[in-house]
């Protein structure tokens, strides 16, 4: 597992290797900065992407700060899965990469739940 | 159109017209797919993602309102994935919506609330919200509360395609912080709004709402100092009582009068006097116009249509009928003739018009009209007051009215209601041409909002909405010399019967319109004349012509 894995490459890498994951030490910082960078791409039209990306970014920060509860984990899963309903690749790609984070770094999120 | 494409929705075999969307096919086959931003033909954009469906062989969900049905598609509208996605998008929208439903004018007619309810969304999961944006854009007739917007873009679509003013804009340059409003920094009026109310009709939340003047009304009615007169439109009487189990016009009128009395009004009057005054002035103006041999028509319009001309088609200003509208003409008569005859102190008289449209709220503030009418409230505002009175069944006692009284104490300023139905236009045409009107659509798609009637080789055009105003300009230039002498124009969406000031309804627009028209049709349908009532005629005769004039100005907002 490389320390240099970028969130934006996760889905592509996952197609080759289903076990691919971010290092647990950087999962929150990498995800947060990835989602922050995606905000600039938002066109503002469809709900899933426009409201979903900032929402998921805030949730990741909440986990990172140890303020998330079990319900936040459920919401996190639902909103990440919901990127599949986005209108274009900005939301769809964000969702696919975050799906891999959720799938393969799930323990890191679970450990942060209060 | 030939049905050549085949596919399945929820296991049901369907036939599809070429180019038809998945949503359209589903609805045609009685398969329900929830929507929020969808507005047939105007806003099929797939923004809200509520109408997503699953297509066999695809992992991503697609929006059904803007995706054409392709041959062989197998669609599922109710899978777990689809249901979860719908809940998620609604939850995201809810996380940016201010839920102050207890004071929201949308009350039980909120589509967003209905969707949250029928998709079982738990709002508590997302906490309370101050709203997507904080701020209110205030106007004399329309108010926008940015904290409730779900950015569905319906209002932007109708503002461009129905009103044709493009006042409301989709500001997506900020991406995640996209919002809808007039041009940044401008009010509705400064950005060309004609108060047609099309946006109010389609807004799925309470974001766009009629300016609520009920508090101002309560203040006017407080104490004994003022003599408050209600000018009541017929459309208000029908719409306010449409769900009451009553048969006759008198019973409907009684319900309205009892409410007005409970609220504290001293007098009531129909709009018959004002209507007769307008018929007389307009018929006179049309006769004069015909005698002048003018090559362009006289345009008789409501306030919204005239505003469109002022804003965007000012070359037509000289053609506008320059008389005041019914409720303003009547207010001139009340203040200058009736008060003296009835021994009322005019300085203490407050006149409140209760109307089906919202433009009048702005109209009474124009320089020509200042001081004539103190307040305009819409039928919907009166309906909200009625609901509160009903809810608060002690209210009559609370405000000092004996609940046992049967005979109303609110007095008619002039006895009786004419109870006549046909329009001012019918009456004017009857008076000038001694003929009945029969409009036919113009057989040309680019003039979809215009219809035409021919009388003795003279053309009369009916134009509707701001789009109709835009088409009228084009039509007149293309048909110069075709002897169009008179144009009757209505810029208000829904006209009077289902106008933007009438009580809101989740029912189909045309269902509501048909029901109210049916109630109105119960009244006698002969064409009225302005001289049929001697008492009204005598009062109107005492009002000087120049007091009933109104003027128009170029606003140079052409876009």
CB contact under 8 A, B175 and A48: no
Neighbouring-strand partners of residue B62: B53
* Cβ-defined contact of B93 to A41 (cutoff 8 Å): no
Reported as a single tens digit per residue, the pLDDT across B98-117 is 998 888 888 788 999 999 99
Q: Shortest CB distance from B92 goes to which of A41, A44, A52?
A: A52
Is B241 in contact with B522 (CB distance < 8 Å)? no
Contact with chain B for residue A94, Cβ under 8 A: no
Q: Do A43 and B91 touch (CB under 8 A)?
A: no
Q: Which of residues 7-46 of B touch A (CB under 8 A)?
A: 45-46
What percentage of chain A reaches a pLDDT higher than 90?
88
Q: In 3-state terms, chain A is what percent helix, strand and coil (to 5)?
A: 70, 0, 30
pLDDT on residue B125: 66
Nearest to B301 by CA among B280, B317, B277: B317
Give yes or no for residue B400 having a pLDDT over 70: no
A40, A41, A78 ranked by CB distance to B84: nearest: A78
pLDDT score, position B402: 44
Q: Does A33 touch chain B (CB under 8 A)?
A: no
Chains A, B: CB contacts under 8 A, how many? 91
Contact A81 B59 (CB under 8 A): no
Task: Say what the pLDDT of residue A33 is.
Answer: 96
Looking at residue B387, what is its pLDDT?
82
Closest approach of B128 to chain A, Cα-based (Å): 14
With bands split at pLDDT 50, 70 and 90, how would you rate the model's confidence at B403? very low
* Residue length of chain B: 559
Q: Which of A35, A38, A45, A76 to mutate to test the interface with B (most CBs of B within 10 A)?
A: A45
> What local confidence, expressed as pLDDT, does residue B436 receive?
87
pLDDT exceeds 80 at position B34:
yes
Residues on chain B touching A78 (C-beta within 8 angstroms): 84, 87-88, 91
Q: How distant is the Cα of B141 from the closest Cα of chain A, in angstroms?
A: 28
Q: So what's the pLDDT on residue B119?
A: 94
| Residue B215 · residue B229 · CB < 8 Å | no
Confirm or reject contact between A37 and chain B (CB < 8 A).
Answer: no
DSSP states of B308-340: HHHHH-GGGGGGB--B--HHHHHHHHIIIIIHH
Query: Which of chain A's residues have a Cβ under 8 Å away from the Cβ of B133?
Result: none
Look at residue B404 in the predicted model and tell me its pLDDT.
Answer: 44
pTM: 0.91
Q: Which residues contact A103 (CB under 8 A, 6 or more apart)?
A: none
CB of A67 less than 8 A from some CB of B: no
To which H or E segment does residue B477 belong? helix B465-478
What count of Cα atoms within 13 Å lies in the side-chain half-sphere of residue B473?
18
Question: What tens digit of pLDDT does each residue of B476-503 get?
Answer: 988 876 889 999 999 988 788 888 899 8
| Residue B165's pLDDT band (cuts 50, 70, 90) | very high
Considering only CB atoms, A45 lies closest to which of B84, B89, B172, namely: B172
Confidence at B2, pLDDT banded by 50, 70, 90: low
Closest listed residue to residue B229, CA positions, set B272, B254, B260: B260
Give the contacts of A89 (CB within 8 A, at least 6 positions apart): none
* pLDDT band at residue B31 under the 50/70/90 scheme: very high
Angstrom CA distances, B286 to B234, B299, B459, stand at 26, 9, 13
Helices A89-104 and A52-64: crossing angle in degrees, nearest 10, is: 30
pLDDT tens-place string over residues B76-93 = 999 999 999 999 999 999
Nearest to B150 by CA among B255, B35, B13, B247: B35
What band does B416 get if pLDDT is binned at 50, 70 and 90?
confident
What pLDDT does residue B407 have?
Answer: 56
Q: Is pLDDT at B398 greater than 60 in this prediction?
A: no
Q: Is the pLDDT score of B136 beyond 60?
A: yes
Residues in A closer than 8 angstroms to B92, CB to CB, are 47-48, 51-52, 55, 79, 82
**B401, pLDDT greater than 80:** no
Q: Which residues of A touch B84 (CB under 8 A)?
A: 78, 81-82
Which residue, B179, B190, B174, is CA-closest to B149?
A: B179
Exposure class string for B470-502: b at 16+ Cβ within 10 A, else e: bbbbebbeeeeeeebbbbbbbbbbbbbbbbbbb
Test the A interface: residue of B124, B156, B175 with most A CBs within 10 Å: B175
Q: Do A44 and B178 touch (CB under 8 A)?
A: yes
What whole-number percentage of chain B has pLDDT above 70? Answer: 94
The verdict on B552 touching A (C-beta cutoff 8 Å) is no
B48 to chain A: nearest residue by CA?
A47
Three-state SS for B62? strand
DSSP string across B271-314: SHHHHHHHHHHHHHHHHHHHHHT-SS-EEEE-HHHHHHHHHH-G
Binned at pLDDT 50, 70 and 90, residue B395 comes out as: very low
DSSP state of B18: T
Give the contacts of A111 (CB within 8 A, at least 6 positions apart).
Answer: none
Smallest CA-to-CA distance from B22 within B14, B334, B402 is with B14
A82 to B88: CB separation less than 8 angstroms, yes or no: yes
Q: How far apart are CA B252 and CA B239, in angstroms?
A: 10
Nearest to B139 by CA among B242, B74, B208, B79: B208
- Pairing status of strand B450-455 against strand B458-464: antiparallel
Residue window 159-218, chain B: list those with CB within 8 Å of chain A.
170, 172, 174-178
Is the pLDDT assigned to residue B522 strictly greater than 90? Answer: no
Q: Which residue of B has its CA nearest to A73?
A: B125
Helix, strand and coil in chain B, % to nearest 5? 40, 15, 45
Is A103's Cβ below 8 Å from some Cβ in B? no
Residue B406: band (very low, low, confident or very high) from pLDDT cuts 50, 70, 90: very low
CB contact under 8 A, B178 and A51: no
Task: Give pLDDT tens digits for B230-254.
Answer: 999 999 999 999 988 888 888 889 8
Phi first, then psi: what are they for B541, rounded to 5°? -65, -20
According to the model, what pLDDT value does residue B3 have? Answer: 59
Q: How many other CB atoms are there within 10 angstroms of residue A62's CB atom?
A: 16
**Residue B518: CB partners within 8 Å, gap ≥ 6?**
none
**How distant is the Cα of B131 from the closest Cα of chain A, in angstroms?**
12
A47: nearest CB among B60, B92, B125: B92
Say yes or no: A21 contacts chain B, CB-CB below 8 A.
no
With a pLDDT cut of 90, the percent of chain B lying above it is: 67
Q: What is the pLDDT of residues A51-92, one digit of tens each?
A: 999 999 999 999 999 999 999 999 999 999 999 999 999 999
**Cβ pair B293, B252 in contact under 8 A:** no
pLDDT for B394: 45
ipTM: 0.95
- Best-predicted range by mean pLDDT among A25-39, B381-395, B430-444? A25-39
Bridge partners of B487, per DSSP, are B299, B461
Is the Cβ pair B49, A86 closer than 8 Å? Answer: yes
pLDDT in tens, B325-358: 999 999 999 999 999 999 999 999 999 999 999 9
Q: What is the pLDDT of residue A2?
A: 54
First to last CA, chain B: 38
* Residue B306: band (very low, low, confident or very high) from pLDDT cuts 50, 70, 90: very high
């Amino acid at each position: 597992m490389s320390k240099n894995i970028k969130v934006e490459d996760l889905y592509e890498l996952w197609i080759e290797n289903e076990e691919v994951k971010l290092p647990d030490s950087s999962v929150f910082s990498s995800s947060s900065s990835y989602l922050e960078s995606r905000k600039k791409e938002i066109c503002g039209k469809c709900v899933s992407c426009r409201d979903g990306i900032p929402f998921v970014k805030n949730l990741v920060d909440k986990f990172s700060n140890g303020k998330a509860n079990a319900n936040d984990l459920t919401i996190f899963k639902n909103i990440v899965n919901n990127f599949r309903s986005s209108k274009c690749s900005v939301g769809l790609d964000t969702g696919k990469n975050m799906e891999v984070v959720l799938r393969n770094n799930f323990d890191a999120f679970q450990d942060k739940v209060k | 159109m030939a049905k050549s494409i085949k596919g399945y929705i929820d296991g049901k075999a369907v036939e599809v017209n070429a180019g038809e969307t998945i949503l359209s096919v589903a609805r045609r086959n009685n398969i329900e797919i929830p929507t929020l931003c969808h507005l047939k033909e105007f806003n099929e954009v797939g923004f809200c993602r509520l109408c997503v469906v699953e297509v066999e062989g695809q992992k991503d969900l697609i929006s059904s309102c803007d995706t054409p049905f392709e041959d062989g598609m197998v669609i599922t509208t109710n899978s777990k994935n689809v249901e979860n996605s719908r809940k998620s998008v609604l939850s995201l929208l809810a996380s940016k919506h201010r839920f102050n439903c207890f004071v929201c004018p949308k009350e039980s007619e909120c589509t967003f609330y209905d969707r949250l309810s029928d998709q079982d969304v738990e709002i508590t999961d997302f906490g309370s919200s101050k709203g997507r944006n904080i701020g209110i854009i205030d106007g004399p007739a329309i108010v926008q509360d940015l904290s409730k917007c779900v950015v569905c873009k319906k209002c932007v679509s109708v503002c461009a395609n129905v009103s044709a003013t493009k006042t409301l804009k989709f500001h997506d340059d900020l991406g995640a912080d996209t919002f809808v409003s007039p041009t940044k920094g401008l009010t509705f009026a400064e950005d060309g709004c004609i108060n047609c109310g099309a946006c109010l009709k389609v807004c799925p939340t309470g974001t766009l709402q009629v300016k609520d003047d009920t508090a101002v009304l309560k203040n006017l009615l407080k104490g004994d100092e003022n003599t408050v007169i209600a000018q009541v439109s017929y459309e208000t009487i029908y719409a306010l009582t449409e769900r009451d189990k009553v048969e006759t016009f008198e019973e409907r009128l009684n319900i309205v009068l009892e409410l007005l009395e409970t609220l504290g009004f001293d007098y009531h009057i129909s709009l018959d006097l004002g209507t007769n005054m307008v018929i007389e002035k307009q018929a006179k103006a049309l006769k004069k116009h015909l005698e002048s041999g003018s090559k362009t028509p006289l345009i008789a319009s409501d306030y919204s249509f005239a505003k469109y001309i002022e804003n965007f088609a000012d070359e037509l200003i000289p053609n506008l009928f320059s008389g005041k509208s019914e409720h303003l003409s009547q207010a001139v008569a009340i203040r200058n003739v009736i008060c003296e005859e009835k021994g009322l102190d005019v300085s203490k008289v407050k006149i409140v018009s209760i109307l089906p449209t919202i433009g009048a709220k702005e109209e009474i503030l124009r320089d020509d009209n200042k001081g004539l009418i103190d307040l305009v409230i819409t039928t919907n505002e009166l309906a909200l007051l009625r609901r509160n009175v009903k809810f608060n069944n002690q209210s009559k006692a609370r405000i000092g009215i004996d609940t046992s009284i049967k005979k109303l104490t609110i007095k008619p300023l002039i006895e009786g209601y004419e109870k006549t139905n046909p329009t001012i236009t019918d009456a004017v045409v009857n008076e000038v041409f001694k003929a009945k009107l029969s409009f036919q659509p113009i057989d040309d798609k680019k003039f979809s909002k215009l219809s035409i009637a021919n009388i003795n080789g003279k053309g009369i055009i009916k134009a509707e909405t701001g789009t109709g105003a835009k088409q009228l300009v084009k039509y007149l230039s293309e048909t110069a010399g075709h002897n169009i002498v008179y144009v009757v124009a209505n810029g208000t969406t829904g006209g009077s019967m289902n106008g933007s000031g009438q009580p809101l309804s989740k029912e189909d627009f045309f269902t509501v319109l048909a029901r109210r028209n049916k109630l109105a049709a119960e009244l006698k349908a002969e064409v009225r004349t302005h001289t049929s009532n001697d008492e009204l005629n005598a009062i109107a005769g005492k009002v000087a012509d120049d007091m009933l004039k109104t003027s128009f100005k170029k606003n140079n907002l052409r876009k």
